[in-house]
Amino acid sequence: MANMPPGTRTQEQAEKQRLRNAIAIQFRNGHPDHAAIANLVREGKLTQKEVNSAITTAKTDPLVRAARPLHLDQLLNVYAAADQKERPLLRPIIARKTGDIQKESDPQRRAALRAALQSLMRRGTAGKDSGSRRSVAMP
C-alpha cells in the first residue's frame, strides 16, 4: 500500500465505498433494508460507524455536502451565487472556516478573505441577503 499512487484504493476500500453509497441511496429513497444493513455489520463488511456515516451523508443536503470541502474563498463565491433558501445552509460552514484566514500565508490574500467575509457578514447576518449573483473576487 505504501507504493500505491495517491488516490488509488484497494478492492476492499472500493467495495466498502460501494456499500456505503448503496446504504445512502436506500435512506435517501426512504426504503432502507435494515436487515441487510445489519447483516453487513455482522459479517464485518462495514462497521456500525461506517453505516452511521452513510446515513448521515444521506440526510445531509446536497449543497452542504458539496460545500464542506471547499476553501473559504470558493465557499464565499458559492454563497454570493446562492439564493435566499441556500444561504442559511452555507452560513454555518462559512463560520467554521473563518479560521482558514489565519492559515493563509499570503498577507494580501488574507486581507482579501477578511474583507470578503466582513462584507458577507454585513449583508447576510441581518437576514437581508439581496440574493444578487455577484461573485466575490479573490486575488
**Between 41 and 103, whose confidence is greater?**
41
Summarize pLDDT for 57-106 with one digit per residue, the tens: 999 999 999 999 999 889 999 998 999 999 999 999 998 988 888 888 88
Mean pLDDT score across all residues of the chain: 84
Among residues 126, 123, 111, the alpha carbon closest in space to that of 79 is found at 123
Summarize pLDDT for 95-118 with one digit per residue, the tens: 898 888 888 888 898 898 888 888
Confidence (pLDDT) at 4: 56
What does DSSP assign to residue 134?
P
> Which grid coordinates are listed for 138?
479573490
Confidence (pLDDT) at 129: 42
Euclidean distance between CA atoms 102 and 1, whole angstroms: 35
Label residue 35 by pLDDT band (50, 70, 90).
very high
**Domain locations in the chain?**
11-59, 65-124
What is the pLDDT averaged over residues 44-55?
A: 96
What is the pLDDT averaged over residues 113-126?
A: 74
